[in-house]
A and B are shown apart, each in its own frame.
Chain A
Amino acid sequence: MHEMGIMESTVELAERQARDAGAERIEVLRMRVGRLTGVVPEALEHAFEALRPGSMAEGAILEVEYVPGSFLCIGCGSEFEAEAMHASCPTCGEPGLGTKKGAEIQLLSLEVS
């Protein structure tokens, strides 16, 4: 996906939240990214490096928690997880239907000062 745009929106949201909290600097940015979004970790990190200078997050550390894609098997109905954008059921081999869980991009929290 387009990690640059995603990171830009995240930093904007983070700056708004930090300002609302009366802070001047962001020290840590914590995100949760689901595997079903197709976000590539290295690309997200590079985007953050490019966006840092001049922002409230200039000296910040980015912590990203990647959560697996959550699937519902179309065959046997069992729920399963996979570190991929589409997957087959480990129980019966039928394709899994991706659910919204595992497709999120969230700003979880900030450490600010």
Chain B
Amino acid sequence: MCIECGCGRPGPTKINGKPTNRSYAPASADRKAKIVGATPGHAHKTVDVHQSIFAANDKKAAENRALFTSKGLLVLNVVSSPGSGKTTLVQKTIERLAGKAPMGVIVGDLETDNDARRLRTTGAPVVQITTGTLCHLDAEMVARAFGELPSDGLRILVIENVGNLVCPATFDLGEGLRVALLSVTEGEDKPLKYPPLFSFAQVVVITKQDLAGPCEFDRDAALASIRAVNPAAKVFEVSAKTGEGMDDWCAFLLEELDVRSEE
């Protein structure tokens, strides 16, 4: 179950079509438990907890991060609303970096393996997570999917998250960089309307530049709204379709790889 929006109760998560043995159902037995009346003279006691409700996910994310680092992988968590162009950007990036930085992908959707099929045409190894109804990926799913990915020799792993502007923001997957996409068709003030997704990203990519003219996209307004919620973000403006801006984006990824190799 998504601890943000409570969705995800029916339907198992699948990795490359195979159900995982992980149950996302809440502990219903506890929910229905009969409440025993307080025993007379039974004193109150304080139980100190001090636990984030994201604690379990954060712990798994840290394990993922350590594993990725040990394999020398640059890992991206790509987030955005549905239809912003995540899959196309990933596909074109793989093609451009072929021979320079082998890439692998873990892609999440509620249903279908359409994205995985598209991405596999590049020759890259791809694992598809179908969440059923869960609206975001979490660290546990990513760990399991990574176990299915032939990752030897890969330098960059892209995790293409479920298209969703809300819940993915609060789930650390163990990535090295969180990349938020904003397409020119979505409205310049999207980041102001959905601050968490954009403020917890290190990189924002404005996509579909080839449509900026017909959409009368106000570039200054978009850059201002990104800056308002995330002044430290690196911003790229691309059209994966025409290639505009893709050189800078790919050069950035190679630089990030170099930086991490040195560390």
Interface residues, chain A, with chain B CB atoms under 8 Å away: 1-2, 4-6, 8-10, 12-15, 17-19, 21, 23-25, 27, 36-38, 54-56, 58-59, 74, 85-86, 94-98, 103-113
Closest residue on chain B to residue A31 by CB atoms: B53
Q: Residues of B contacting A38 with CB < 8 Å?
A: 195-196
Can you list 20 A-B pairs with a CB-CB distance of less than 8 A? A1-B166, A1-B196, A2-B2, A4-B5, A4-B6, A5-B1, A6-B53, A12-B27, A13-B49, A14-B49, A23-B45, A24-B36, A36-B196, A85-B199, A86-B199, A95-B229, A97-B232, A107-B51, A113-B42, A113-B44
**Contact call A86/B195, Cβ cutoff below 8 A:** yes
Q: Which label, helix, strand, loop or mixed, suits the secondary structure of the A interface?
A: mixed
Known contacts A25-B36, A56-B30: does B196 contact A10 (CB below 8 Å)?
A: no
Residues of B within 8 A of A110 (CB): 46-47, 49
B 1-24 to A, binary, CB cutoff 8 A, 1 in contact else 0 = 111111100000000000000000
B50 on the A face (CB < 8 A): yes
Chain B residue, CB-CB nearest to A94: B231
User: Which of B46, B192, B200 sits near A111, CB closer than 8 Å?
Assistant: B46
A13 surroundings in chain B (CB, below 8 A)? 49, 51, 53
Q: How many residues of B contact A (CB 8 A)?
A: 43
Would B47 and A23 count as touching, CB distance under 8 A? yes
CA of A20 to CA of B251 in the docked complex: distance in angstroms? 52
Residue of A nearest to B231 (CB): A74
Query: In the complex the two chains form, is A106's CB within 8 Å of B232's CB?
Result: no
Residues of chain B at the chain A interface (Cβ within 8 Å): 1-7, 26-27, 30-33, 35-36, 38, 42-54, 166-167, 170, 192, 195-196, 199-200, 227-232
Which A residue sits closest to B36, measured CB to CB?
A24
Question: How many A-B pairs fall under 8 Å by CB?
Answer: 139
Partner pick for B167 among A2, A74, A86, CB 8 A cutoff: A2
Q: In the assembled complex, which residues on chain B have CB atoms less than 8 Å from the CB atom of A59?
A: 35
Asked whether, in the complex, the Cβ of B228 is within 8 Å of the Cβ of A74, the reply is no
Asked if residues B45 and A112 are in contact (CB atoms below 8 Å), the reply is yes
Q: How far is the CA of A88 from the CA of B151 in the complex (A)?
A: 43
- A66 CB to closest chain B CB, in angstroms? 15
Which chain A residue has the least Cβ–Cβ distance from B191? A86
**Closest Cβ–Cβ distance, residue B23 to chain A (whole Å):** 13
- A97 neighbours in B (Cβ, 8 Å): 199, 230-232
